[in-house]
Amino acid sequence: MSDPLDLLPDGVVVADAAGRVSAVNTVAAAMLGVSPATAAGHPLTDVLALTDHDARSWCDANTPYDGLSTRTGVPEQTWLLPDGTEVLVTARLHRAVRTGPVTAVAVDLRSGRGRARLDRDRSDLVATLAHELRSPLTGVKGFVQALLNRWDKLTDEQKRLMLTTASADAERLSRLITELLDVARIDTGRLQLHRRPTDLGSKAEQVHRSMTVVTSTPIELEVEPDLPLVDADPDKVMQVLTNVVENAVRHGSGTVRVRVGRWGEDADQVAVTVTDEGDGIAPELRQRIFTKFWTEGTGGGSGLGLYIVRGLVRAHGGSIVVDDRPGGGARVVTTWPSAPAEGTMAP
């Protein structure tokens, strides 16, 4: 029977009361460049070949067998393997008697790549947020300062233009903050949905009316007759449809077409299909577009829209599919579960 320690994802080295290694799993052996069979019986200081940037060894720096008699472990630290790779190391000090001598030391070694990647992701997140927030905030600050400094010299039309622009930038800030809150709720599973029977065709018509006012891109809408109501949060439906249509307008070309109809793959689902006539989305990118801050191309935006869309659709028990539009371009399909026959339609 194989050693149960070999089933663990981390490297493990165990030493006895005399400071000699009693067990090394295969992960730790590969990290340290030793053989599990021959390492047993050797001093922990020889097998655990970890050093810091000052060339100190882990055992010399942490003295696991010495120190306070109440000590029960060594907190996580970053150390270097013999090949220079960083690992995260923590240890547990076992005592047969609470304040007695150490009877065993169990050392855990974990690759530092995940931590480094997480640190990079956090740095990228901070940089992206700073950039996205700074642009509209600079606009608001600049126009307000100009109004304060030159109020008597500006015409009413100039004041109106500045206030309108500042208001638009403030709205952009508010929307970004709302998106960030949605992302946090999706990530932590705290998203709240106020579901009730909702007319998906009516919501698509509202989005169509609002979008045609703010863009010159032609948008065509087709709603299949006699569709069942869907069991959804009406506000979240509007948010999803607006994001998907805006994305098609921003990244596509030609006419954007929106169709609401029964989903062929599941009779209990109603689908909203949005297509454009652009270059389409490469197959290898079709999952990456749903990651946070994905902003491929020059269309702008925070890069959170489609991540939120997928989170909201899945929270409703629906699905989202991205593929090619026949004839060229991209097609995004969101599906929504039908509501029970009884109920009152949401406005």
**For position 230, which CATH number holds?**
3.30.565.10
Q: Which domain, by its residues, includes 137?
A: 115-188
Q: Are residues 78 and 208 in the same domain?
A: no
Q: Is it the case that residue 78 has pLDDT exceeding 50?
A: yes
113-172 pLDDT per residue, tens? 766 666 666 676 677 677 777 878 888 999 999 999 999 999 999 999 999 989 888 888
Q: Is 213's pLDDT higher than 50? A: yes
Residue 285: per-residue pLDDT:
75
Confidence at residue 345, expressed as pLDDT on a 0 to 100 scale:
54
Q: What is the pLDDT of residue 298?
A: 43
Chain segment 26-66, per-residue pLDDT in tens: 999 999 999 888 899 999 999 999 998 888 999 999 999 99
Q: What is the mean pLDDT of residues 198-202?
A: 96
Q: What is the CATH number of the domain that holds 68?
A: 3.30.450.20
Instruction: Give the model's pLDDT for residue 296.
Output: 60
* Mean pLDDT calculated for residue range 315-328: 88
pLDDT tens digit string along 226-276? 999 999 999 999 999 998 998 888 877 789 999 999 988 787 899 999 999
Percent of the chain with pLDDT over 90: 50
pTM of the predicted structure, to 2 decimals: 0.59
Q: What's the CA gap between 162 and 61, in Å, rounded?
A: 62
Between CA 40 and CA 108 the distance in angstroms is: 16
**202 and 176 share a domain?**
no
282 in a domain, yes or no? yes
Task: Judge whether 76 and 88 are in contact, CB under 8 Å.
Answer: yes
Burial of 115 (0-12, 13-18, 19+ CB in 10 A): middle
Q: What is the mean pLDDT of residues 194-215?
A: 93
Q: Would residue 55 count as lying in a domain?
A: yes
Q: Is 149 found in the same domain as 59? A: no
Give the chain's domain count. 3
Please check whether residues 67 and 29 belong to one and the same domain: yes
249 in a structural domain: yes
Residue 126 is part of a domain; what is its CATH number?
A: 1.10.287.130
C-alpha to C-alpha distance for 20 and 259, rounded to whole angstroms: 71
Same domain for 203 and 333, yes or no, is yes
